[in-house]
Chain A
Amino acid sequence: MSVLRPFQASDMFKFNNVNLDIWTETYNIGFYLHYLSRWPDLCCVQEAPTGRMMGYVIGKAEGQGAEWHGHVTAITVAPEYRRLSLARKMMSLLELVSDEIYRGFFVDLYVRCNNLVALELYEGMDYSVYRRVREYYGNLGVGKGGRDEEDAFDMRKPLSRDGARRSVRSNGRDIVVSAHDVS
């Protein structure tokens, strides 16, 4: 049981149990307010009935022409609430809004190549690797990460507007680009 509701600015006071986890970054205030001031419908929270935050997703819509798409900037679930399908539900909402409101062609996201749990989640939801981005992330500071820690997979899932699945490709893992090619 969890409450799905919009992310609000004051959630920044409540997200510690989610953000103290190593995979989740705490950005400056402007980061969250920027997203909320443009794509509030792509940012949502899962909350326990006690009011405790369980996880959240932050997304945006961007791109030109056939590249117009929804983007998952951050998705995270507090350790004690993992494996309850919360991430899946939040992703579904983001896909729904990207599809119906923004009319995007696909949804995409970046994930550390060594984040196996997240990869599992995305692949299970029909995302596939579009390309590998070299040194997209900084290191986590827990030692011995190597390439997979700093490289990212850029993963995509086509939406209804891309019936021909033009936004994805099957050999994405072999296509390597550098970080400044993507941002």
Chain B
Amino acid sequence: MSIALDRQIRPIYDSLDTGANKSAIVGCNKLLKKHPKNALVQALKALALVRSQKVEEALALCDEVLEYKPTDDATLNAMMHVLRGLGRHKDMITMYEAAYKKQPANEELGAQTFFANVRANNWKSAQQVASKMYKQFQEDRYLYWSAISTVLQANDPNTAAEMRTLLYKLALRLITSSPASSHVHPDRFHLHLTILRELREFDEAMALLETPNGQNICQTNLACNEIRRDIMRLRGALEDEGRRAEQRILNKNDRNWLEFLSVVDGTFSHLTVSKPSEDAREQCLSKVSNTLALFTKISVQDGKKDRSGLLGLLELESRSRKHGISTDPTRMVQLLKQYFETFGDKACCYEDLKPYVSLEGGDLAAWTEFLKASPPPLSTTENVKRVINTHKLLRYNLSASELTVEAESSRAVLYIEQYLEGLPLGKDLPVTELQHVDDFAILAASVFVNIWKLNGDIKYLYNAVVLLEFALSQSKQAFQMRLMLIRIYRLLGSPSVALEHYRLLGIKQVQNDTLSHFILSRASTFSLAASGDLTLSTECVESSQIYISNSQETSDFVIRAFSGEKYSQIPQFILFENWLDNSLQRDIVKLEYLRMRITHEVISSEVIDLELIELKFVFDRIHHDNRDLEIIPNYQPRDVESFNAQTMMFEKSEGHGWVWSFLKSYIKAFSQASDLDDVVEEKLLVGDRPQAAGPAKTGTLKERLAIREKEELAELTSDELSLISYADALAEWLEPFHDHVRPPASVVLAEAAKQTELKTGMPLKGVDITPPNGHVKKEEDTPPITEAPEDLVKFFENMKARFETVENAESPNEALHVATLTQEAFLLFVIETLRFKSASVVKIHKLGNLVAKFKPIRAIAAGILKDMAGSLEKMSALEGTSEKRRDFVSACMLPSSQMDDDFQMNIAKKVTDSRKKVEEGVAKGLMRLCSTYEQ
């Protein structure tokens, strides 16, 4: 390239770097006048176009550059970004492969070719490229690249099971062919061990592990040590491993719990067979007493410094009981007491003991008696923790007969008293710290929720929120209380208060995936998008940004891990990328967003086409559930549902089945309403089709859509289930008419090509633009017009009846649920009948009789929706009154000295205002949609 041209190109890079895409395009255009075929300038222009969302124009340029088969770094690099932006990983591979072929001595090109394959998860080709590079450049690194690519190919869900072992064997051969040994480098060593473990080549693995280098690595590298431990277990060397662990515990003061578990596993190694001999039992008994001595020694030595010794003893006793060789029936309870006495003032005491306290009979009685005996006064923070732990442990074992409303109520009173009594202990804590007594409030709120579950009286939820709000005002960072509040406010039908709390949590980045369920689960129930308030749908969009970051960034780090030879990380990164990309929550939010979107935007064929393409991608995913449900504290008794389950809206959690159910309904409706059949879509698709994350789902789309599995439907509320059946009936009725009217693929494509050419001045690649000659009209006759299934009108009538039974409930949620689902049914009707709006379509295809059948259904639906809107209006007018607020306050049973009337009134106002707002907004939305689509 000439120096002059080089100088002229630099400002284009500057523009691109600063996001000034427009001026980059102008710059490129200027240069292209003089050098119309300069690949680099064209590539840079394509990049600027991609970044300005001008996909069609970018595509045309991009194709042109690819035809030149560029080899210079600058052009390749620019094209890499273009192709990534367009999601065309396959083209990227082709481009680099061609370049590397032309310059086989160029190591950088080899590496880029390898990376391009990595980005596309093309492990087989990646392995071949790496092998070639190893031959050419003789760097060990490339040998390891090819070995791990082979392993990744073996692990790929699309690889046949019988290939796995073969591939692992190949990977092993590659590694052992290297003159250098793996154990000079922890990550190479890690890879080598992983392969040996998979192939169960334990002797070879042991030989490596026992070298001085191997031993050293395991001393400092947790990841390698993890595999070492695993290999020991797999080869059944539990005793050896136990002995080794014992040495570490004694000599190195290692207190990693895994070492203690190894000792325990070693102790019982003789009993792992199904029918151990008497001899084995004897041997085991003597080993138990050795371990008992060891752990006792450690627990005495460590005292309060470390819990491992005492917990080791508990684990030992618990296993002895399981194997039926416990020698002292009182030991379990004795150890529990001892543990409680030593660590009862640590917050984790409850969690530590939980696995051991599911006791029965005499044990339970003795343990309960111990816990109940003379609780210490709440004079120190240690005592506070101790009393809290006592409550939690006692509560865990409460039986049904102890869980009456009366008994629970008096527990709540006690917890609140103690909360208030102990509160002053933390008066000097900085605002960044949690109060010592927080868990008393959490316990009391849990009790209130449990009582509400027992008797259905909403006033207990009011008490829970007032108490938690108060406790939160004293302990500003108590996120657990906030999470509980979010759940309860949603149950109360006060979504905006819940959202306020959610925002205060400061959820960021990947937490959007794991925690947004708190606010977005079934969020369309509360959506006011139909009346123009986009708060919740914006929340959906924002929480989904993380998936874009993931697809843009994570693969870069996979590449970096290759460059830095951190093989232990590569499978992990890929797994992470995959789980996030295929996140269940992602698509729950996607569906909620869609359900809000169609209430807000005018339903048009553009919206339908775009959503259809996206939903079909979603339909090929195998989802992974990353939602964090553990984060909500749970102190409910072991025989009672968890707090999480108790506070789920409509008592149903959406999972895979929920997603599939709605997905199928929408794909059905959209694919009927759309002209994009599979042929058209394939042609118009810009990027690569996302790889199905698993063995390809079998059957055609239509067949797959038709299946409704029982387990899937079980995740729906009864009202959602009605909606789904309604949607199925509607789709079944109209399918033949859609299929008859939909223009053939050739026509749709020709039209698309015409549009593209108008926009970009270039033809659409691979599409014949000449309009199909004459035979546009289908040969067949219009299918016979059939009656509308009765189920359609029945659905609306049933929903009307349902609404009437729930409209006077204490919480508006059910009414909102019924109303928004009825609205959704109405909109599905609009989607399914959109095609027949066109008078010429109706005329050409003689569908007048069909269209006439739409009218009454639409009218009935609209009438019912308007009635519902009227009732919601009325409900909202009532919510806003001071009477409602007074009802709320008078339901509160909390000590008014701290949580005074003003405080309570303030919360009452927040709750009722929020309800009012959502009832009013949903009502308005219903009216608006009726007037938009009634005709």
Which positions in A face B, CB cutoff 8 Å? 1-6, 8-10, 12-14, 16-17, 19-23, 26-30, 33-34, 36-38, 40-41, 44, 48-50, 52, 79-85, 89, 93, 96-97, 100-101, 140, 142-143
Contact = CB atoms under 8 A, between A and B. Distances in A.
B568 interface: yes
B554 interface: yes
Nearest to B222: A6
Contact of B220 (A3, A5, A41): A41
A80 B347 CA distance: 5
Contacts of B508: 26
B348 interface: yes
A37 to B, nearest CB: 4
Interface in B246-264: 255-258, 260
Interface string B502-517: 0001001111011100
A71 B556 CA distance: 24
A9 B576 contact: yes
B558 to A, nearest CB: 8
Contact of A3 (B221, B257, B510, B572): B257
Interface stretch (B141-149, B420-428, B625-633): B625-633
A2 B257 CA distance: 5
Given A8-B572, A41-B186, A142-B476, A85 B305 contact: yes
A40 B223 contact: yes
A19 to B, nearest CB: 7
Contacts of A22: 432, 477
Interface size on B, as a range, is 35 or more
Given A6-B223, A26-B511, A37 B557 contact: yes
B351 interface: yes
Nearest to A23: B432
A85 to B, nearest CB: 7
A80 to B, nearest CB: 4
Contacts of B509: 26-29
B553 A29 contact: yes
Given A2-B257, A20-B631, A52-B630, 20 more contacts: A1-B257, A9-B569, A10-B575, A10-B579, A12-B576, A16-B515, A17-B631, A20-B479, A26-B509, A28-B553, A29-B510, A29-B546, A30-B556, A37-B560, A40-B187, A41-B221, A44-B222, A84-B346, A101-B186, A101-B220
Contact of B575 (A9, A40, A79, A142): A9
A9 B572 contact: yes
Q: In terms of DSSP, what is the predominant structure of the interface of chain B? A: helix
Given A1-B260, A12-B576, A37-B569, A21 B477 contact: yes
B308 interface: yes
A69 B280 CA distance: 52
Interface of B: 186-187, 220-223, 226, 255-258, 260, 305-308, 311-312, 346-348, 351-352, 354-355, 431-432, 434, 476-477, 479, 505, 508-511, 513-515, 546, 549-550, 553-554, 556-557, 560-561, 564, 566, 568-569, 572-573, 575-576, 579, 626, 628, 630-631
CB-based closest 5 A-B pairs: A9-B576, A33-B557, A20-B479, A80-B347, A1-B257
Nearest to B625: A13
Given A5-B222, A20-B479, A97-B220, A30 B557 contact: yes
Contacts of A81: 347-348
A48 B564 CA distance: 31
A146 B77 CA distance: 47
A4 B432 contact: no
11 contacts: A3-B256, A6-B223, A6-B568, A10-B575, A12-B510, A29-B546, A29-B550, A37-B560, A84-B346, A96-B220, A142-B432
Contacts of B311: 1
Please indicate which of the listed interface residues A1, A9, A16 has the most CB atoms of chain B within 10 Å of its own CB: A1
Given A13-B628, A40-B569, A29 B351 contact: no
A140 B432 CA distance: 9
Contacts of A3: 256-258
B830 to A, nearest CB: 39
Contacts of A52: 351, 630
A93 B223 CA distance: 13
Nearest to B354: A50
A4 B256 contact: yes
A49 B222 CA distance: 17
Contacts of A34: 557, 560
Nearest to B546: A29
B573 A33 contact: yes
A8 B564 CA distance: 17
B479 A37 contact: no
A89 to B, nearest CB: 7
Nearest to A28: B509
A116 B307 CA distance: 25
